[in-house]
Amino acid sequence: MEKQNIKDILVKLIYDLFELDITKIDDYENKELLGYDIKFTSMHLLYLYFECEKKFKINIPQKDILEGKFNNINNISEVINRYIACALQKC
């Protein structure tokens, strides 16, 4: 799956879950989800985390969260892409 497809799915998932169209925010792909522009709470982020695991059928290790890799659309799509590729190769 290509990164842009993952980003598109993430945007739709955020809209479906929280009724938030983040595409209206300048440079939304790099904005911190917990930051001033998007204003997610930690609960939003946690819910998104579990929905991503379910949607993409992957397990995202806690270390990715702790290392700040689950903080914006670009980083989340990279994490998802990495674990999808790993699942296909049976890492």
Quote the pLDDT of residue 2.
77
Q: What is the rounded distance in angstroms from the CA atom of residue 48 to the CA atom of residue 26?
A: 21
With 0-12 / 13-18 / 19 or more C-beta atoms within 10 angstroms meaning exposed / middle / buried, residue 14 is buried
Among candidates 65, 84, 85, which has minimal Cα distance to 75? 65
How far lies 63's CA from each of 17, 55, 58, in Å? 24, 20, 15
Does pTM top 0.85 for this prediction?
Answer: yes
Calculate what percentage of the chain has a pLDDT beyond 70.
Answer: 99
In CATH terms, the fold of domain 3-89 is 1.10.1200
Q: What is the pLDDT of residues 33-51, one digit of tens each?
A: 999 999 999 999 999 999 9
Enumerate the domain spans of the chain.
3-89
